[in-house]
């Protein structure tokens, strides 16, 4: 039997209705696609076309492999292999059921990187399982043998304090504060992308790793080899895209709250910062500055002259960011036209209402090119032409009430099949419009992302998290994992979003510790829905969205003001360094916020640390993230000595020290071998 064929430097396997293709896709990397009862399609939800001239491909179909199984003596041709540089896919057709097992190896060392599960003889197991949903749509499972000692990182943003994902079960779907980006990095020297935007699951079990797509037309994944995490991330971002260069206004401090609800508030806050000599790069106008969701313009009652407001902000050197939601209220001035033109997400059954919040709302269909064109024209007219250059793309998952994914359908397919691309296409709407409008550098804040979002100037923030110490600790993990998943621009609401009571000392302590952490995030941004709230009622007597308590740095007492003012100054002093990190991210895909293992992979201890991180390659940050804590243990990696940026004390690497951390101090250390001195 002829199981294998060579086509265009790729290896093809066919057996009993399944067609599988392995081909080189980037340096030391493969793309694997498979279909049942059909032909491989070229649809690529995220992977870019690779530079094929850089490939080093060798494909071999072996006539026999007597060392594998005695059955091979009478039935040759059960083994083939394809190599691309250092990575090899060894393919073996197991005699029981003619099931194919693929093993990926480092052909320099002979080490197994990853391999599919075997058939299990009488168990008749399959590494790839297709269960027909209807037509050519299947529920697809892909199973691999698990190394129980392996450590796994990445996968985007899940609200957990768990750094090593081994043993975790993860939903492959977006939610408010959850961004599912299915790329995982292994300490065994490989990276793996589940190249499928379907709603699904992944199980990183101790016995097997199993990826599941609930509705899909073909299996599709990508694997790469690298000696270091940096090399793996470089290979991954080479084929999925990298962030552009961050604009200068992304390097400093951003001021925000829920919510500056009128023009006078915005100007009063900006003027006060300016008069105090504290530079802010961006001030943010949050949601419901519009009459109805889907109007995409300022409400004249509260913003009578937005052009004058924006011009004055620019005179003070401040960019104005405005919130944009993808919801369209059924009462919006644009609703009927968008519905008639088919520019909205469709419900498969029941009433077309996808979120209830200050009215009945449907979502714009960001996968539809006509929708993107229509909405950008509104954005340009009502915001861009006023001088607004940066947008806050909230609700980007999108936040379906109840997350009943099976009930919704996009232009490009069912949400179950392609739903996870939505936040990327939403970001694309703005990025392409801004670029066409002549804007050379773009950054837009967004609440979700998928593979490739980074190339559209997306700054992801971690969503509507709670103002408590547990959620604070979760953000350290989230920022590191997002960087591994290819998203170098990431931030949080400093102080958390929900439940921060400005009248309590406990919240003020949390806020200060979060603020210190925020000074070393890729972007430093103050935000939150502070308690107590104030009701807003318009002239027509309609209840509008509330505004929270004051959230400026002078709002929390003189002692706390001085601490926060100092850390804004520290952030400013790092501007040249931060700019260099953004340049590195743009050129190599390197995260700005990095796990210690990323920078020091040869130090085994670094793979275990979850509450410290590197800000670039030279600064180690140890956030104080427990109530009442005034000192903490800090691990300093091997390979260099370290200096405390606040005290000047020097320590040898490869040890754990106890660092003093009174409320005004954050443990920060710089590498002495980097010839960069940071004194705070």
Active site (catalytic) residues? 394, 397, 464
What is the rounded distance in angstroms from the CA atom of residue 608 to the CA atom of residue 600?
12
176 closest CA partner among 360, 402, 392, 345: 402
Burial 648-677 (b: 16+ CB within 10 A, else e): eeebebeeebebebebebbbbbbbbeeeee
Q: Which two tokens stand for residue 398?
A: 């999108």
Residue 158 contacts residue 170 (beta carbons within 8 Å):
yes
What is the rounded distance in angstroms from the CA atom of residue 326 to the CA atom of residue 294?
7
3-state secondary structure 417-432: HHHHHHHHHHHHHHHH
Pairing of strands 319-324, 282-285: parallel
Cross-strand partners of 409: 346, 414
Residues in the chain: 680
Residue 295 contacts residue 288 (beta carbons within 8 Å):
no
CA dihedral 401, 544, 285, 292 (to 10 degrees): 60
CA dihedral 277, 527, 354, 546 (to 10 degrees): -80
- H/E stretch holding 238 reads helix 229-240
Pairing of strands 631-636, 529-531: unpaired
526 closest CA partner among 498, 499, 547, 495: 495
**CA-to-CA separations, 98 to 5, 38, 65, 123, in angstroms, rounded:** 16, 19, 15, 13
What is the rounded distance in angstroms from the CA atom of residue 512 to the CA atom of residue 664?
8
What is the rounded distance in angstroms from the CA atom of residue 553 to the CA atom of residue 264?
19
Residue 527 contacts residue 552 (beta carbons within 8 Å):
no
3-state secondary structure 440-469: CCCCEEECCCCCCHHHHCEEEECCCCECCH
Sheet holding 650-652, edge to edge: 593-594, 613-615, 619-621, 668-671, 641-644, 650-652
| Phi then psi dihedrals of residue 176, to 5 deg | -55, 115
What is the rounded distance in angstroms from the CA atom of residue 193 to the CA atom of residue 435?
29
Count the neighbouring beta carbons within 10 Å of the beta carbon of residue 559: 11
Residue 182 contacts residue 159 (beta carbons within 8 Å):
no
Sheet holding 128-134, edge to edge: 128-134, 137-145, 208-216, 200-204, 169-172
Residue 157, SS3 per DSSP = strand
Residue entry with tokens 């069912």 = 414
Classify residue 408 by its DSSP letter: E
Cross-strand partners of 132: 138
């Amino acid at each position: 039997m002829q199981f294998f064929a060579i086509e265009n430097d790729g290896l093809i396997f066919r057996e009993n209705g399944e067609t599988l293709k392995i081909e080189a896709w980037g340096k030391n990397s493969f793309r694997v696609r498979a279909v049942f009862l059909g032909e491989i399609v070229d649809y690529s939800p995220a992977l870019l076309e690779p530079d094929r001239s850089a490939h080093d491909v060798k494909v071999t179909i072996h006539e026999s492999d007597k060392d594998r199984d005695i059955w091979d003596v009478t039935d040759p041709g059960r083994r083939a292999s394809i190599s691309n540089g250092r990575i090899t896919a060894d393919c073996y057709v197991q005699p029981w059921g003619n099931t194919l097992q693929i093993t990926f190896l480092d052909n320099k060392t002979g080490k197994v990187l990853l391999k599919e599960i075997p058939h299990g003889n009488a168990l008749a197991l399959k590494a790839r399982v297709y269960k027909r949903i209807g037509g050519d749509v299947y529920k697809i499972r892909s199973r691999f043998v698990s190394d129980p000692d392996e450590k796994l990182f990445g996968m985007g943003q899940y609200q957990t304090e768990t750094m090593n994902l081994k043993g975790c079960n993860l939903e492959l779907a977006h939610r408010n504060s959850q961004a599912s980006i299915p790329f995982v990095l292994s300490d065994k020297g490989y990276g793996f992308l589940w190249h499928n935007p379907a709603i699904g699951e992944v199980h990183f079990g101790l016995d097997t790793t199993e990826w599941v797509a609930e509705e899909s037309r073909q299996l599709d994944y990508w694997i790469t080899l690298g000696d270091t995490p940096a090399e793996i991330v470089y290979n991954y971002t080479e084929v999925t895209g990298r962030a552009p260069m961050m604009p200068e206004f992304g390097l400093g401090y951003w001021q925000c709250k829920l919510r500056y609800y009128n023009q006078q508030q915005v100007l009063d806050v900006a003027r006060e910062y300016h008069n105090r000599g504290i530079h802010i790069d961006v001030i943010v106008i949050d949601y419901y500055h519009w009459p109805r969701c889907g109007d995409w313009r300022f409400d004249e009652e509260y913003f009578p002259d937005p052009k004058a407001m924006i011009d004055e902000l620019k005179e003070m050197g401040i960019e104005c960011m405005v919130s944009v939601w993808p919801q369209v209220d059924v009462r919006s001035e644009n609703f009927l036209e968008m519905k008639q033109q088919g520019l909205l997400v469709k419900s498969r059954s029941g009433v077309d209402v996808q979120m209830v919040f200050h009215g009945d709302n449907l979502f714009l269909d960001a996968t539809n090119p006509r929708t993107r064109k229509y909405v950008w024209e509104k954005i340009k007219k009502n915001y861009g032409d006023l001088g607004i250059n940066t947008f806050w793309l909230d609700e980007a998952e999108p936040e379906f009430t109840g997350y009943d994914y099976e009930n919704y359908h996009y232009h490009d397919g069912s949400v179950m099949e392609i739903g996870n691309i939505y936040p990327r296409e939403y970001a694309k709407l703005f990025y392409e419009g801004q670029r066409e409008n002549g804007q050379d550098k773009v950054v837009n804040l967004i609440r979700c992302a998928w593979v490739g979002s980074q190339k559209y100037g997306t700054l992801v923030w971690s969503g509507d998290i709670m103002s408590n110490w547990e959620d604070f600790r979760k953000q350290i993990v989230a920022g590191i994992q997002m960087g591994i998943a290819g998203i170098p621009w990431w931030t949080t609401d400093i102080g958390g979003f929900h439940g921060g009571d400005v009248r309590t000392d406990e919240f003020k302590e949390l806020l200060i510790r979060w603020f210190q952490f925020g000074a070393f995030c890729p972007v430093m941004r103050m935000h939150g829905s502070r308690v107590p709230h104030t009701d807003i009622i318009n002239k027509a007597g309609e209840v509008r969205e509330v505004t929270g308590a004051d959230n400026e740095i002078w709002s929390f007492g003189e002692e706390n003001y001085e601490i926060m003012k100092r850390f804004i100054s520290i952030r400013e002093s790092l501007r040249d360094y931060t700019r260099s990190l953004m340049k590195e991210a743009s050129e190599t895909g390197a995260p700005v916020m990095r796990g210690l293992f990323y920078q020091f992979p040869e130090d085994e201890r670094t793979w275990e640390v979850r509450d410290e991180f590197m800000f670039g390659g030279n600064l180690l940050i140890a956030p104080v993230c427990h109530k009442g804590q005034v000192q903490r243990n800090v691990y300093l990696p091997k390979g260099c000595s370290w200096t405390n940026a606040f005290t000047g004390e020097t320590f040898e690497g490869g040890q754990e020290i106890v660092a003093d951390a009174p409320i005004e101090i954050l443990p920060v250390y710089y590498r002495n071998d980097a010839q960069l001195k940071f004194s705070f």
